[in-house]
A and B are shown apart, each in its own frame.
Chain A
């Protein structure tokens, strides 16, 4: 495949160009003015569908006619000053005139009932003057105070009912932008005006998402280009990755358009992810290409070599990242599932481009390079230093890692689950400033509704049920998260005082009174809290909290109160805040399951790769450590676990395990080749340090660009991803080599490649009774070496030490093929003892701690299986059945020699 591709670089580029063209055509909208990529800023993208609270919300809208609202807050030192009242009145009329506005309630539209003797005067504030009596009536009316007028008389709310809650329709009407613009026009030094409400937050989110896509991706590309220029110091090293990323983005956006998937708060992270992943893969491939420049082969052959050397790492890297991402597919949140699917697709695109497009482009633009070689050597030197440090201080590093893991586990117990509403915007964002000002002025602006169902007509004309509602309202008002409460009892109190007279705002106590008050007090406000047959009512709350943790805490306390309502009343809570809170709860549980699933899937991959459950488990430990560090970091930093932060771990899990696999693969072969785990650890680190560092640095730089965005969740995502990558790099560079230097790994593929010759069991007595695969596993757990002719393997009288690892005098050799001469020197002359070939075992005396008894030289090139006591120990631990059989065979060989008088050698 590599050769085929290397010979058809032009064709490969043409095919990619055609696919890119097709993707670009998907993006182009001939009917519309721009691209076909949609942006969905709605809270729906962050809400699990089919939540019971969603049905309740729809039911309230249907039965009580609740509309989507925008709240405009006017703040002034004296709300009742003429100028302020004129502003409120003018703004009310201007707002009412806006297309898409159904109704406006404000201080100047509301009629306030005021009873004097047997006269009820419905009075309206008429600017510029307001009487002291009306002012008092306004501030005393519980339906107005804290709802339209703040308790301190320094702020008033203009409540704008929108004709529709459909965000696409609102955008078409220019809402809520036109409301915000009007508010800005009427704002002066004497009174500040703030606009807030769900649709305002959604519109701001939409703008932030679009702005981010407009500049974060270019900023990311520029920054990473600078980074690539610094690393590769060549135009090719910069241009090739950038062109590749550009192609990947067109594919990605084309896919979004073709599938009609919107970019929302979660899926808008996909394009930056494709950029970072694409650049990381490209950096890997270009780095390898630079390294291959020194090999004197034709360009096509170099391309084939490049593809061959990069295919497995890139494919494995992609596979594990895709696994990490796809584990998110179990999420109940469609946006997370879309993120998982599209990100996985993006990673596949990046991998395909890295293995097809980049080599082809490099081949066509190839010319000599040199900068990388010098840099590679610098990395090798650094790797040597770090690797030796890792092996020398192995115990200390492992102790520190264990300590960090324990601390991380402890800190992880402090993790708080939650998300923010307006808190996703930076503190100085206008939308957040307005929200917080409104929140402070009106004691909460986050709406929550409680639907209380009585299931029979006239239930809410029964005094005992009203008293229960009243008690619930009183309890709610005492909660710190609740700023204002409004419901049927408040309406009835005001109606009673107005229509029946009497002191104070007492609840009516007779059923006929209640029925008459509800009948004669009919109003839009009353209809918004109780239905026509008085079988259901809605209680409206405004919360002061801006995060799901606060809402959740309230819900936990509220639930028993609702359960305690008298029969037949059944209460259900809803509102955007409730929907998001319940979603976060569900999604976080899903995310934890996703992480466990990702770890299991990665473990399964490692089992397949290393053909050993135990080895795979050991190989998973560094990844597990990274996971624990991440969650410990969340617990320590106070960053909450939510849909966004959970994504980071699954993403980084996939990215982090890539380098672990790279390292383990290199370590396995290096350790076998060098006949030493310590040296293998250093060599493997030298091989992977540069690509691992470059990859992680490129990814971290890419993610760090997100911290400059307007949306707090993406800023957190950027920081977390970058810091987690740093932690992963530290684990890869320090912990994994230290940890793995004590473990020999045999891969299934390695075992299949080991050639022990024909009829192993019959021709090599030490391996008798083992299956072919077991024999290969033993050979790989030991050291299969090729020794040139004329090499002295051991010398007579040589001390065999104590058999410690690395002490060559304790080695046992098994001849796989070749001829060895065994001799001693007597009186200055060589005395031939034996010439041995395939199957012979040499050096077992040294193995048992005695001095060598003869000299052994190779007469021809020989393949020898060398092992020592430490190797045998490892085989015992990891493959006890193989070890037992080999021991038995070794004893039999020794026994046969003693019985047959064959000279013991070594």
Chain B
């Protein structure tokens, strides 16, 4: 059952995956997930599963209510509100912009991710700074914005994998839903993780759970989707709520998504490194 595949091609579609996965939660006409599998599980190869996950992506759109609630290691809680816009470039390359709404001190802070082949360009703008900054070589395993996610983990969640090699293991079941089990091994020094085990819903190709292993057989972090939040619209499926738990720290971060606009026509300057931070709405 184990099949190995290089996932470099998945990495190239990553920003697209971010937008696409979120996009599917348009919610206005969402219906419960389909009962039957999109693929024939016994026949599905790793690339089939990957393709199935990619089929949940939508080309362009906006997510105007992305709520993140962090419960830190001391038990304190704080929230973030963001907006997400995505639109492909002229050659179809993925482009994503993220804007912070809350906390108010950070209102107007913006991120821009431009994918070009295997290369990824990241820009961000702080309200206190005059210009946007271009960031290269950021450590993928460092935590992000006070949450339990690292940049690499966000990519992992939304794009499944970003580097390393993956094998499909024997299928399993989560809350009665049959899942594909994929194990990705990485260079721990570079990525922060020795392996990531992902559980993908066979019915919807939505990621239901990921376990991040650093050392040993106990995961350092676990990402779990709320099964009740998995929605399907037409051929697209998405989980609206995810929770990431950092086990040693005892902290957790919950992501809730709503207020989608699919196939919205976004202005080109929103993805221009010189202007992406200008007010839009």
Contact = CB atoms under 8 A, between A and B. Distances in A.
A65 B73 contact: yes
B135 A118 contact: no
B89 interface: no
A120 interface: yes
B127 A512 contact: yes
Nearest to A520: B126
Interface in A508-531: 510-513, 515-517, 519-520, 522-524, 527, 531
B73 A119 contact: no
Contacts of A103: 214
Contact of B143 (A62, A99, A527): A527
A93 B126 CA distance: 36
Nearest to B147: A522
Given A102-B214, A121-B136, A63 B145 contact: no
A193 B130 CA distance: 46
A499 B126 contact: yes
A533 interface: yes
B134 interface: yes
Given A93-B189, A522-B145, A120 B135 contact: yes
A532 B129 contact: no
B105 interface: yes
B131 interface: yes
Contacts of B74: 62-63, 531-533
A99 B105 contact: no
Residue in A101, A103, A120, A121 with the greatest tally of chain B CB atoms within 10 Å = A120
Given A522-B145, A533-B78, A119 B109 contact: no
A533 B76 contact: yes
Interface string B136-171: 111100111110000000000000000000000000
B109 A516 contact: yes
Interface residues of B, number: 36
A532 B103 CA distance: 13
B215 A163 contact: yes
A516 to B, nearest CB: 5
A520 B109 contact: yes
Nearest to B72: A532
Interface of B is mostly: loop
B263 interface: no
Contact of B215 (A99, A121, A524): A99
Residue in B76, B127, B128, B146 with the greatest tally of chain A CB atoms within 10 Å = B128
Given A63-B73, A93-B189, A522-B142, A102 B215 contact: yes
A524 B137 contact: no
Contacts, number: 102
Given A65-B249, A532-B78, A500 B129 contact: yes
Interface in A485-522: 499-501, 510-513, 515-517, 519-520, 522
A540 interface: no
B188 interface: yes
A168 to B, nearest CB: 18
A516 B128 contact: yes
A672 B78 CA distance: 90
B248 interface: yes
A288 interface: no
Contacts of A821: none
A68 B210 CA distance: 28
Nearest to B187: A93
Residue in B70, B105, B131 with the greatest tally of chain A CB atoms within 10 Å = B105
Nearest to B142: A523
B106 interface: yes
A119 B134 contact: yes
Interface string A92-112: 110010010111100001010
A122 B139 contact: yes
Contacts of A119: 133-136
Contacts of A552: none
A93 B216 CA distance: 16
Interface in B55-91: 70, 72-74, 76, 78
Contact of A124 (B124, B137, B248): B137
A750 interface: no
> Which bracket fits the contact residues of A?
35 or more
A533 B128 contact: no
Interface in B190-221: 214-216
A869 interface: no
A635 to B, nearest CB: 49
A798 interface: no
Contacts of A522: 142-146
Given A93-B189, A101-B215, A522-B145, A123 B128 contact: no
A501 B139 contact: no
Residue in B109, B131, B142 with the greatest tally of chain A CB atoms within 10 Å = B142
A512 B105 CA distance: 6
B73 A109 contact: no
A341 to B, nearest CB: 39
B98 interface: no
A519 B214 CA distance: 25
Contacts of B124: 520
Contacts of B179: none
Given A63-B74, A118-B134, A519 B127 contact: no
B132 A118 contact: yes
Contacts of A515: 103, 105-106
B41 to A, nearest CB: 36
A516 B214 CA distance: 30
Contact of A500 (B126, B137, B188): B126
Contact of A96 (B72, B142, B189): B189
Contact of B248 (A65, A99, A104, A500): A65
A171 B102 CA distance: 48
Contacts of B139: 111, 122, 523
Nearest to B251: A532
Contact of B138 (A92, A122, A513): A122
A500 B143 contact: no
A906 to B, nearest CB: 97
A519 B78 contact: no
Nearest to A89: B189
A169 to B, nearest CB: 13
Interface string A50-65: 0000000000001101
Nearest to B123: A118
A520 B73 CA distance: 19
Contacts of B215: 99, 101-102, 163
B105 A121 contact: no
B137 A122 contact: yes
Nearest to A510: B128
Contacts of B128: 500, 510, 512-513, 516
Contact of B105 (A101, A516, A533): A516
Contacts of B78: 532-533
A864 to B, nearest CB: 90
B34 to A, nearest CB: 39
Interface in A663-682: none
Contacts of A524: 142-143
Nearest to B216: A99
Nearest to A67: B248
A65 B73 CA distance: 9
Contacts of B138: 111, 122
Nearest to B111: A520
Task: List the 4 shortest-distance A-B pairs measured between CB atoms, nearest first.
Answer: A532-B72, A122-B137, A515-B105, A111-B139
Given A96-B188, A512-B105, A532-B78, 14 more contacts: A63-B74, A99-B216, A102-B215, A109-B189, A119-B133, A121-B136, A122-B139, A123-B137, A500-B129, A515-B103, A524-B142, A531-B72, A531-B74, A532-B73
15 contacts: A109-B189, A111-B139, A119-B134, A120-B134, A120-B135, A511-B105, A516-B106, A516-B128, A519-B106, A520-B124, A522-B143, A522-B146, A523-B139, A527-B143, A533-B78
Interface of A: 62-63, 65, 92-93, 96, 99, 101-104, 109, 111, 118-124, 163, 457, 499-501, 510-513, 515-517, 519-520, 522-524, 527, 531-533
